[in-house]
Amino acid sequence: MSRIGKLAITIPAGVTVAVDKANLVTVKGKLGELQQQIDPNITVTVEDSEINVDRSNESKDVRSKHGLYRSLISNMVQGVSEGFKTVQEFVGVGYKVDVQGQVLDMALGYSHHILFSLPPEVIAEAVVERGKNPKLIMRSHDKQLLGQVAAKIRSLRKPEPFKGKGVKFEGEILRKKAGKTAAK
């Protein structure tokens, strides 16, 4: 049995979970509402203040989805009650980020500024401190969407391996390469 899949999910106060006949799980909380379609071979039951995820058979495909759907539902419950956050640093001379409503205005060393439109579920704020790299803090109740947006922003200027310039996650450790040595 899946070690992750067999763990019960506790429902915090203020969160409601509903499962309909089409295996659509709906989670509502103070931060929003999320829905996830579940595979028909996986059964989700809500009892008291716990959610249990079970599988119908032991085929390889069903076993692999057991832990996946349990993690997705757990992330939904955590998202609508607490939310998720990512912090990205803009490392480089002249690299800037500015938030104007739901649009990010970024200067990433190109000849032009990059405008990036955020989904309505993502809330962003830019932190600029003197002597430190600019930071972009994004919050959302949807972990999948937040990760996808953060990955897209990082892909606009990935950290390069020699100086480490680019967009990186806070706390991310970059493997730096040694530069070329002069020939004698």
Query: Do 92 and 58 fall within a single domain?
Result: no
CA distances from 129 to 100, 135, 157 (A): 18, 9, 21
Distance CA 94, CA 118 (A): 23
Domain-located, residue 144: yes
* Residue pLDDT, tens place only, 117-129: 999 999 999 999 9
The CATH number of whichever domain residue 110 belongs to comes to 3.90.930.12
Domain-located, residue 180: no
* Residue pLDDT, tens place only, 79-106: 999 999 999 999 999 999 999 999 999 9
Query: Do 75 and 106 fall within a single domain?
Result: no
Distance CA 153, CA 146 (A): 11
Q: What is the predicted pLDDT for the residue at 2?
A: 61
Query: Do 97 and 77 fall within a single domain?
Result: no
Query: Do 158 and 88 fall within a single domain?
Result: yes
Domain-located, residue 69: yes
Select from 81, 99, 133 the last residue of a domain.
81
Query: Do 100 and 153 fall within a single domain?
Result: yes
Query: Do 21 and 43 fall within a single domain?
Result: yes
Q: What is the predicted pLDDT for the residue at 14?
A: 92
Domain-located, residue 182: no
When pLDDT is cut at 50, 70 and 90, the band that residue 5 belongs to is confident
Q: What is the predicted pLDDT for the residue at 156?
A: 95
Distance CA 145, CA 96 (A): 23
Hey, how many other C-beta atoms are within 10 angstroms of the C-beta on 1? Answer: 11
* Residue pLDDT, tens place only, 99-151: 999 999 999 999 999 999 999 999 999 999 999 999 999 999 999 999 999 99
pLDDT above 60 (res 28): yes
Domain count for the chain, please give it: 2
Q: What is the predicted pLDDT for the residue at 184?
A: 61
Show the domain range for 76.
Answer: 9-81
Domain-located, residue 33: yes
